[in-house]
Protein backbone atom coordinates (compact mmCIF):
# COMPACT_ATOMS: atom_id res chain seq x y z
CA UNK A 1 0.00 0.00 0.00
CA UNK A 2 1.07 3.56 -0.63
CA UNK A 3 -0.19 6.99 0.31
CA UNK A 4 -1.69 9.11 -2.46
CA UNK A 5 -1.03 12.85 -2.23
CA UNK A 6 -2.67 15.26 -4.65
CA UNK A 7 -2.18 18.97 -5.34
CA UNK A 8 -4.89 20.59 -7.44
CA UNK A 9 -5.67 24.20 -8.29
CA UNK A 10 -9.43 23.80 -8.48
CA UNK A 11 -10.26 27.37 -9.65
CA UNK A 12 -13.25 28.00 -7.34
CA UNK A 13 -14.50 25.41 -4.87
CA UNK A 14 -18.05 26.60 -5.59
CA UNK A 15 -17.78 25.99 -9.33
CA UNK A 16 -15.80 22.76 -8.82
CA UNK A 17 -17.61 21.25 -5.81
CA UNK A 18 -19.02 18.36 -7.86
CA UNK A 19 -15.65 17.67 -9.47
CA UNK A 20 -13.95 17.62 -6.07
CA UNK A 21 -16.62 15.27 -4.67
CA UNK A 22 -16.27 12.97 -7.66
CA UNK A 23 -12.49 13.05 -7.29
CA UNK A 24 -12.65 12.07 -3.60
CA UNK A 25 -15.10 9.25 -4.37
CA UNK A 26 -13.20 7.99 -7.38
CA UNK A 27 -9.62 8.27 -6.11
CA UNK A 28 -9.84 8.73 -2.31
CA UNK A 29 -6.53 10.62 -1.97
CA UNK A 30 -4.92 10.42 1.46
CA UNK A 31 -3.97 14.10 1.25
CA UNK A 32 -5.53 16.71 -1.04
CA UNK A 33 -4.00 20.19 -1.35
CA UNK A 34 -6.34 22.66 -3.04
CA UNK A 35 -5.58 26.14 -4.33
CA UNK A 36 -7.81 28.98 -5.57
CA UNK A 37 -10.88 28.27 -3.44
CA UNK A 38 -12.10 31.79 -4.31
CA UNK A 39 -14.30 31.88 -1.23
CA UNK A 40 -14.25 32.78 2.44
CA UNK A 41 -13.97 30.09 5.12
CA UNK A 42 -17.66 30.59 5.98
CA UNK A 43 -18.71 29.59 2.44
CA UNK A 44 -16.69 26.35 2.34
CA UNK A 45 -18.93 23.28 1.86
CA UNK A 46 -17.74 21.37 4.91
CA UNK A 47 -20.18 18.50 4.42
CA UNK A 48 -18.52 17.61 1.14
CA UNK A 49 -15.40 16.65 3.09
CA UNK A 50 -16.93 15.62 6.41
CA UNK A 51 -19.33 13.15 4.75
CA UNK A 52 -16.33 11.43 3.18
CA UNK A 53 -14.38 11.34 6.45
CA UNK A 54 -11.83 13.99 5.50
CA UNK A 55 -10.20 16.30 8.02
CA UNK A 56 -10.30 19.78 6.48
CA UNK A 57 -8.33 22.96 7.14
CA UNK A 58 -8.98 26.09 5.09
CA UNK A 59 -7.49 29.54 4.59
CA UNK A 60 -10.09 31.28 2.48
CA UNK A 61 -10.50 34.67 0.85
CA UNK A 62 -13.46 36.24 -0.88
CA UNK A 63 -13.36 35.94 -4.71
CA UNK A 64 -9.59 35.37 -5.00
CA UNK A 65 -6.90 32.95 -3.85
CA UNK A 66 -7.67 30.68 -0.89
CA UNK A 67 -6.06 27.34 -0.02
CA UNK A 68 -7.29 24.22 1.76
CA UNK A 69 -5.80 20.93 2.91
CA UNK A 70 -7.87 17.76 3.36
CA UNK A 71 -6.68 14.50 4.91
CA UNK A 72 -8.40 11.11 4.88
CA UNK A 73 -8.28 9.10 8.09
CA UNK A 74 -5.59 11.33 9.61
CA UNK A 75 -5.35 14.51 11.64
CA UNK A 76 -3.86 17.79 10.49
CA UNK A 77 -1.90 19.38 13.34
CA UNK A 78 -0.05 22.64 14.01
CA UNK A 79 -2.14 24.57 11.50
CA UNK A 80 -0.61 27.86 10.41
CA UNK A 81 -2.25 30.12 7.82
CA UNK A 82 -0.43 32.78 5.85
CA UNK A 83 3.16 33.60 4.89
CA UNK A 84 4.54 35.90 7.61
CA UNK A 85 5.24 39.27 6.01
CA UNK A 86 5.00 37.99 2.47
CA UNK A 87 1.49 37.61 1.10
CA UNK A 88 0.09 41.12 1.67
CA UNK A 89 -2.92 39.62 3.40
CA UNK A 90 -3.78 37.39 0.44
CA UNK A 91 -4.71 33.81 1.40
CA UNK A 92 -1.94 31.88 -0.32
CA UNK A 93 -0.30 29.56 2.21
CA UNK A 94 -1.49 26.94 4.67
CA UNK A 95 0.95 24.86 6.71
CA UNK A 96 -0.12 21.70 8.51
CA UNK A 97 1.53 18.59 9.89
CA UNK A 98 0.26 15.34 8.37
CA UNK A 99 1.51 11.90 9.40
CA UNK A 100 4.73 13.44 10.75
CA UNK A 101 5.41 15.47 7.61
CA UNK A 102 5.25 19.27 7.60
CA UNK A 103 3.11 20.12 4.55
CA UNK A 104 3.12 23.66 3.16
CA UNK A 105 0.28 24.14 0.70
CA UNK A 106 0.99 27.22 -1.39
CA UNK A 107 -0.59 29.25 -4.18
CA UNK A 108 2.19 31.49 -5.47
CA UNK A 109 1.40 34.77 -7.26
CA UNK A 110 1.19 34.45 -11.04
CA UNK A 111 2.88 37.78 -11.76
CA UNK A 112 0.79 38.78 -14.81
CA UNK A 113 3.75 40.04 -16.88
CA UNK A 114 7.38 40.87 -16.26
CA UNK A 115 6.62 44.61 -16.55
CA UNK A 116 3.71 44.46 -14.09
CA UNK A 117 3.90 45.51 -10.42
CA UNK A 118 2.41 42.06 -9.80
CA UNK A 119 5.71 40.58 -10.96
CA UNK A 120 7.45 42.57 -8.19
CA UNK A 121 4.96 41.11 -5.73
CA UNK A 122 5.65 37.62 -7.06
CA UNK A 123 9.39 38.00 -6.56
CA UNK A 124 8.87 39.47 -3.08
CA UNK A 125 6.58 36.56 -2.19
CA UNK A 126 9.23 34.01 -3.20
CA UNK A 127 11.98 35.97 -1.41
CA UNK A 128 9.93 35.92 1.79
CA UNK A 129 8.95 32.26 1.33
CA UNK A 130 12.57 31.17 0.86
CA UNK A 131 13.82 33.26 3.79
CA UNK A 132 11.04 31.86 6.00
CA UNK A 133 11.82 28.28 4.97
CA UNK A 134 15.50 28.79 5.72
CA UNK A 135 14.83 30.47 9.07
CA UNK A 136 12.08 28.23 10.42
CA UNK A 137 12.54 24.84 8.73
CA UNK A 138 15.19 22.15 8.46
CA UNK A 139 15.77 20.44 5.09
CA UNK A 140 16.98 17.29 6.87
CA UNK A 141 13.45 16.86 8.29
CA UNK A 142 10.36 15.57 6.41
CA UNK A 143 8.89 18.59 4.59
CA UNK A 144 6.67 19.08 1.55
CA UNK A 145 6.17 22.42 -0.20
CA UNK A 146 3.48 21.82 -2.81
CA UNK A 147 0.93 23.64 -4.86
CA UNK A 148 0.63 26.05 -7.77
CA UNK A 149 4.15 27.47 -7.87
CA UNK A 150 3.57 29.46 -11.09
CA UNK A 151 7.13 28.94 -12.33
CA UNK A 152 8.07 26.65 -15.23
CA UNK A 153 11.69 25.79 -14.35
CA UNK A 154 12.65 23.59 -17.33
CA UNK A 155 12.29 24.47 -21.03
CA UNK A 156 10.09 21.39 -21.42
CA UNK A 157 7.75 22.78 -18.75
CA UNK A 158 6.12 25.04 -21.37
CA UNK A 159 4.74 24.01 -24.76
CA UNK A 160 7.25 26.15 -26.63
CA UNK A 161 10.22 27.56 -24.69
CA UNK A 162 11.37 29.56 -27.75
CA UNK A 163 8.03 31.31 -27.99
CA UNK A 164 8.01 31.93 -24.22
CA UNK A 165 11.46 33.49 -24.08
CA UNK A 166 11.92 35.36 -20.79
CA UNK A 167 8.23 36.07 -20.23
CA UNK A 168 6.45 35.48 -16.93
CA UNK A 169 6.87 31.96 -15.42
CA UNK A 170 10.10 31.60 -17.48
CA UNK A 171 11.91 34.83 -16.53
CA UNK A 172 15.52 34.26 -15.30
CA UNK A 173 14.73 35.99 -11.98
CA UNK A 174 12.02 33.40 -11.31
CA UNK A 175 14.15 30.48 -12.42
CA UNK A 176 16.83 31.64 -9.97
CA UNK A 177 14.29 31.71 -7.13
CA UNK A 178 13.10 28.19 -7.99
CA UNK A 179 16.73 27.03 -8.10
CA UNK A 180 17.26 28.56 -4.68
CA UNK A 181 14.53 26.29 -3.30
CA UNK A 182 16.31 23.28 -4.80
CA UNK A 183 19.71 24.43 -3.53
CA UNK A 184 18.29 24.71 -0.01
CA UNK A 185 17.31 21.04 -0.06
CA UNK A 186 13.99 20.63 -1.82
CA UNK A 187 13.61 18.14 -4.68
CA UNK A 188 11.15 18.26 -7.58
CA UNK A 189 9.56 14.94 -6.62
CA UNK A 190 7.25 14.35 -9.60
CA UNK A 191 9.68 15.18 -12.41
CA UNK A 192 11.58 11.86 -12.54
CA UNK A 193 8.24 10.07 -12.87
CA UNK A 194 6.68 12.24 -15.58
CA UNK A 195 7.27 12.37 -19.30
CA UNK A 196 8.79 15.83 -20.03
CA UNK A 197 5.83 16.53 -22.33
CA UNK A 198 3.35 16.20 -19.42
CA UNK A 199 2.01 19.52 -18.16
CA UNK A 200 -0.33 20.55 -15.34
CA UNK A 201 -2.00 23.78 -16.52
CA UNK A 202 -3.88 24.46 -19.73
CA UNK A 203 -5.20 28.00 -20.14
CA UNK A 204 -8.89 28.43 -20.93
CA UNK A 205 -8.20 31.53 -23.01
CA UNK A 206 -6.18 29.99 -25.77
CA UNK A 207 -8.08 26.68 -25.85
CA UNK A 208 -4.77 25.32 -24.57
CA UNK A 209 -6.11 21.89 -23.58
CA UNK A 210 -7.62 21.29 -26.99
CA UNK A 211 -4.40 22.49 -28.65
CA UNK A 212 -1.95 20.71 -26.32
CA UNK A 213 -0.36 23.96 -25.15
CA UNK A 214 0.29 23.27 -21.48
CA UNK A 215 2.67 24.32 -18.74
CA UNK A 216 4.06 22.44 -15.73
CA UNK A 217 3.67 24.89 -12.87
CA UNK A 218 2.22 22.64 -10.11
CA UNK A 219 4.78 20.84 -7.96
CA UNK A 220 5.59 18.65 -5.03
CA UNK A 221 8.89 19.96 -3.66
CA UNK A 222 10.14 17.63 -0.94
CA UNK A 223 13.12 17.19 1.36
CA UNK A 224 15.35 14.09 1.23
CA UNK A 225 13.48 12.03 3.86
CA UNK A 226 10.28 12.40 1.81
CA UNK A 227 12.04 11.89 -1.53
CA UNK A 228 13.27 8.51 -0.28
CA UNK A 229 9.63 7.41 0.07
CA UNK A 230 8.42 8.47 -3.40
CA UNK A 231 7.22 5.48 -5.42
CA UNK A 232 5.43 7.23 -8.28
CA UNK A 233 3.78 10.35 -9.69
CA UNK A 234 1.30 11.26 -12.39
CA UNK A 235 -0.90 14.04 -13.74
CA UNK A 236 -4.61 13.31 -14.04
CA UNK A 237 -5.39 14.33 -17.63
CA UNK A 238 -8.79 12.63 -17.44
CA UNK A 239 -9.85 15.25 -14.88
CA UNK A 240 -8.68 18.16 -17.08
CA UNK A 241 -10.61 16.62 -19.99
CA UNK A 242 -13.95 16.68 -18.14
CA UNK A 243 -16.74 19.11 -18.87
CA UNK A 244 -16.42 22.30 -16.78
CA UNK A 245 -12.94 21.24 -15.62
CA UNK A 246 -10.50 23.46 -13.74
CA UNK A 247 -7.71 24.87 -15.91
CA UNK A 248 -5.28 22.86 -13.74
CA UNK A 249 -5.07 19.06 -13.64
CA UNK A 250 -4.56 17.22 -10.34
CA UNK A 251 -0.91 16.25 -9.72
CA UNK A 252 -0.47 12.97 -7.87
CA UNK A 253 2.48 11.87 -5.72
CA UNK A 254 2.64 8.39 -4.22
CA UNK A 255 4.63 7.71 -1.05
CA UNK A 256 5.48 4.42 0.58
CA UNK A 257 3.72 4.16 3.90
CA UNK A 258 6.78 3.48 6.08
CA UNK A 259 7.30 5.38 9.32
CA UNK A 260 8.73 8.85 9.02
CA UNK A 261 12.35 9.10 10.16
39 binds DNA (CB under 7 A): yes
Binding residue for DNA, selected from 75, 138, 173, 204, defined by CB under 7 A: 204
- Nearest-angstrom CA–CA distance, 151 and 29: 25
- Nearest-angstrom CA–CA distance, 168 and 170: 5
The residues in 170-189 that bind DNA, with binding defined as CB under 7 A, are none
- Nearest-angstrom CA–CA distance, 180 and 184: 6
| Three-class secondary structure of residue 216 per DSSP | coil
Binding residue for DNA, selected from 28, 118, 123, 124, defined by CB under 7 A: 118
- Using the contact rule CB under 7 A, the part of the chain among 9-17, 45-53, 72-80, 151-159 near DNA is 9-17
CB neighbours of 98 closer than 8 A, spacing ≥ 6?
31, 69, 71, 74, 75, 76, 77
141 binds DNA (CB under 7 A): no
Continuous H helices in 83-231: 117-136, 161-164, 172-184, 208-211, 224-227
12 binds DNA (CB under 7 A): yes
124 binds DNA (CB under 7 A): no
- Nearest-angstrom CA–CA distance, 21 and 49: 8
Smaller CB distance to DNA: residue 46 or 204?
204
- Using the contact rule CB under 7 A, the part of the chain among 20-28, 71-79, 109-117, 222-230 near DNA is 109-117
Binding residue for DNA, selected from 109, 142, 147, 153, defined by CB under 7 A: 109
Q: What does the binding site for DNA look like in residue numbers (CB under 7 A)?
A: 11-12, 14-16, 38-39, 62-64, 109-110, 112, 118, 204-207, 244
Amino acid sequence: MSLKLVTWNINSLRARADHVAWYLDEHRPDLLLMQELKMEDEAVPWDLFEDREYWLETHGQKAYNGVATAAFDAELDDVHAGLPGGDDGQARLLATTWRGIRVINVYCPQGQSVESPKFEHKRRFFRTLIDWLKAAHDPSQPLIVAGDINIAPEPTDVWDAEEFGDSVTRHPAELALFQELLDWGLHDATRPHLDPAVHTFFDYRTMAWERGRGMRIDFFLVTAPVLARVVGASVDYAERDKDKASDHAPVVLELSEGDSP
